[in-house]
Structure 1
Amino acid sequence: MSTEQTIVRQYGNIAEDRTAGLMGFSMASTVVLGAGAVGVFIAIMASQIWVAVGIALVAFIAATILGSKDRHGRSKPERWLARSMHSKAKKAGKTVYKSGPVSQIPDGSFRAPGLLAATELIDFQDLFGNEGVMLWHPKLKTGTVFFSTNSSGLGLLDQDRVNRLVGSWAAFQRDAGSNARVEQISVTTQSTTDPGERLPDAIAVARQQAGSHEVPAFCPAGDG
């Protein structure tokens, strides 16, 4: 008598964006540290020890300021520059969106705001009869289409179903990579917090509907 062991695959490959510099510093901080190292070397060769110490201290402070990031990934100089540019644009009256004849567009048309002002909105209908909108850039001859998908929600998925979903996503990426007309695909994932009570309830309901009352025990929310 042989027992089959179910192999549960783990899918991941999720990595955080890292800075392009050395030892966690940004590229600007790395350049400052490199220039400071060169200055320290020249000062030491000229027997100017205190000058070398001063250069090293200034370079370290400048690299720390340039390398500090907020939760949006911006350093302090970038925030200062963005705040200054926004203040100048606000004084010039360019921060208020105006469309149509009152806008600053020469033809007085209704365009999308910001960087999308050069694009045009085109309505279309696919082969399945679904209506959609495409952002068409006349100068670059490129179009952007948005579509959304939903997860299974509270529905239970077995391992075979999960494997098929992952395989379908991999096939989509493979086919998109072999299509010369596709320039870029951007994926945005939105998630919401959950108290941890809906999943046990969903499992209990699903097992009751299946005729099995063996519901696995779950720790209450907050008990680890």
Structure 2
Amino acid sequence: MSAEAAVHPTYGNWRRPRRPGLGPFGLIGTFGVFGGLVVALLVSLISLRAALGVLVPLIFLLVPLMIRTQDGRNLYQLLALRIGWLRRKAKGSHTYVSGPLSARPGGRFRPPGLLANVTMQEGHDAYDRAFGVLHHKGRGLYTIVLACEPDGGSLVDPDQVDVWVAAWGEWLARLSHEPQLRGAAVIVETAPDPGTRLANEVLPRIRDDAPAAARAVMEEVVERYPSTSSEMHTYIALTYGVPAARGRDHNDVLTDLAIRIPGLLAGLVGAGGGAAMPLSAERIAEIVRVAYDPAVAGDVLNVRAQHGATGLDWDDAGPAATVETVSAYQHDSGVSRTWLLTLAPRGTVRSSVLRGLLEAAPGTRRKRVALLYRPIDPATSARIVESDRRAAQFMASSGRGMVQARAASEVRAAEQTAAEEASGAGLVEFSLMLTVTVDSASQLADAAVTVRNLQAASRLSLRPADRMQAAAFTCTLPVGVLPWEHTLIPQELQEAL
């Protein structure tokens, strides 16, 4: 008999898109370098002093493009971020007050910031299940939210985990073929169990004639169990873009989205998503309400358990007051801080690389991990992988020593990516955002230490979303806010920088 060694699949080969242009300058900086040199040469034919007068300002303009942070931002982008924060603070837009006593019309508790112009609608799919649709006015974006209960990897064979990962990769690849899909977000939210769900399930079932000992045991279980347990929810937000020029009304959009939901849910179930279903407008409003005011989580569960529904409307899902600072976002009964991904795990990783990051963190009120996906159509994917492949081959042929060894590794990775794309794999840009909510600002330091430990275990590199905490907090909610759709500078221009 011969024994075969168990082979555990590994993953990785994530590649950051290469910036066009010369070195750290980017495309715009490269045009500036060559254009400035040409102008300086022409001016030097007239006067050497005039040529120096052209070169000196050019150098001062190009040096900030050369100095970049770990995540690729140059000094101009950092300066624009600080100027935008100072402008918001001078205008008072870093604070928000709503409700009957505020100056806002209507006296409702509408969500703030990027959700101020969002409206909610509701439709029904082929199985007559209600699903909410968030309409982002002015941008022609519609978002549906799906909920699932993943099976988890405990006591599961590695072969089954490998099948789930492959099915999840296939589901992501299918997103690039979804008509008009702009992006997707997978949000995993964890929080300490308030105990109301267990109490609502157990206490009403205790009979009046039950023995005193049995009654005491059940009551003690209900009282003590929630202190050591946590709740976990997984949401998938899919955002579609419908151009206004087509003149389609909302009913046509709802019908189109209702047709797609069963196929999307079937793919999630096959990828280990467990029971999957669309979220109604009321459930989406409840999620947003609890995110802004974590103290009402138990009340929401109690009302839903007793009456079957809360009746919460989208216009009342927002906070009563918020204050944004450089490094935190205070909202009703919680204070949050958000971190952004700067570097994905390098090398090969296993399927459990994010398990510690997704589990409940002690000492926090709520924690949300948002994985943002931007599908790329097949034609653009082929162009990107071929461009990376040529660039890697050029670097390998022009380098020496250790640089050449690293370039050779880049060539192997680029060749593998090109082969997988040619065989039908999809190309998806992804990022990660992490939001931690605590009870008071004094607990943020401990939360930061917890996040540092979690990112080290997951081999991630994160940085705080300073001076944009409010917008980053909104991006981690299952409401379809895609960061690249809400920037003042177009995505193409940002890539050129």
Q: TM-score range by the shorter chain?
A: 0.5 to 0.7
How far apart, in 2, do the equivalents of 1:136 and 1:94 lie? 23
How far apart, in 2, do the equivalents of 1:108 and 1:67 lie? 50
Maintained 8 Å contact 2:133/2:143: yes
How far apart, in 1, do the equivalents of 2:57 and 2:69 lie? 22
Equivalence for 1:120: 119
Residue 164 to residue 133, structure 1, CA distance change in 2 (3 Å): same
Specify the SS of the correspondent of 1:185.
Answer: strand
Q: What letter corresponds to residue 33 of structure 1 in structure 2?
A: V
CA offsets per residue over residues 11-66 of structure 1, 9 Å max, x none?
Answer: 2231235434321223443343233122123124x154454455334323321213
- Which one has the bigger strand percentage? 2
The percentage of aligned residue pairs carrying the same residue is 24
Map of 1:19-98 to 2, 5 A cutoff? 19-44=19-44, 46=45, 48-49=47-48, 51-53=50-52, 55-70=54-69, 73-98=72-97
Equivalence for 2:164: 165
Equivalence for 2:134: 135
Q: What letter corresponds to residue 58 of structure 2 in structure 1?
A: A
Maintained 8 Å contact 1:118/1:137: yes
Q: TM-score scaled by structure 1?
A: 0.61
How far apart, in 2, do the equivalents of 1:64 and 1:152 lie? 49
Shift of 1:87: 2.7
CA offsets per residue over residues 169-188 of structure 1, 9 Å max, x none?
Answer: 12212333333264322451
CA offsets per residue over residues 63-115 of structure 1, 9 Å max, x none?
Answer: 121342335654333333333343333233222112235255x5454322222
Specify the SS of the correspondent of 2:182.
Answer: coil
Residue 99 to residue 26, structure 1, CA distance change in 2 (3 Å): farther
Specify the SS of the correspondent of 2:24.
Answer: coil
Q: What letter corresponds to residue 185 of structure 1 in structure 2?
A: A
Q: What letter corresponds to residue 165 of structure 2 in structure 1?
A: V
Maintained 8 Å contact 1:134/1:146: no
Specify the SS of the correspondent of 1:21.
Answer: coil
Residue 7 to residue 48, structure 1, CA distance change in 2 (3 Å): farther
Task: Pick the structure with greater CA Rg.
Answer: 1
Maintained 8 Å contact 1:111/1:120: no
How far apart, in 2, do the equivalents of 1:40 and 1:117 lie? 50
Q: What letter corresponds to residue 180 of structure 1 in structure 2?
A: P
How far apart, in 1, do the equivalents of 2:71 and 2:148 lie? 25
- Aligned pairs, number: 193
Residue 27 to residue 165, structure 1, CA distance change in 2 (3 Å): same
How far apart, in 2, do the equivalents of 1:38 and 1:107 lie? 60
How far apart, in 2, do the equivalents of 1:51 and 1:111 lie? 59
Equivalence for 1:15: 15
Shift of 1:195: 6.8
Maintained 8 Å contact 1:18/1:24: no
Q: Point out which structure has higher relative CO (alpha carbons under 8 A, 6+ apart).
A: 2
Shift of 1:3: 6.0
Maintained 8 Å contact 2:133/2:142: no
Maintained 8 Å contact 1:29/1:64: no
Residue 146 to residue 87, structure 1, CA distance change in 2 (3 Å): farther
CA offsets per residue over residues 176-205 of structure 1, 9 Å max, x none?
Answer: 333326432245146824679xxxxxxxxx
Maintained 8 Å contact 1:111/1:117: yes
Residue 107 to residue 79, structure 1, CA distance change in 2 (3 Å): farther
Specify the SS of the correspondent of 2:12.
Answer: coil
Maintained 8 Å contact 1:25/1:67: yes
Maintained 8 Å contact 1:120/1:137: yes
How far apart, in 2, do the equivalents of 1:156 and 1:56 lie? 66
How far apart, in 2, do the equivalents of 1:34 and 1:19 lie? 17
How far apart, in 1, do the equivalents of 2:33 and 2:46 lie? 21
Specify the SS of the correspondent of 1:171.
Answer: helix
Maintained 8 Å contact 1:21/1:29: yes
Maintained 8 Å contact 1:122/1:135: yes
Runs of 5+ unmatched residues, structure 2: 187-370, 372-431, 435-450, 459-497
Maintained 8 Å contact 2:134/2:144: yes
Maintained 8 Å contact 1:67/1:75: yes
Specify the SS of the correspondent of 1:184.
Answer: strand
Maintained 8 Å contact 1:122/1:133: yes
| CA RMSD, 1 decimal | 4.2
How far apart, in 2, do the equivalents of 1:163 and 1:142 lie? 33
How far apart, in 2, do the equivalents of 1:13 and 1:142 lie? 32
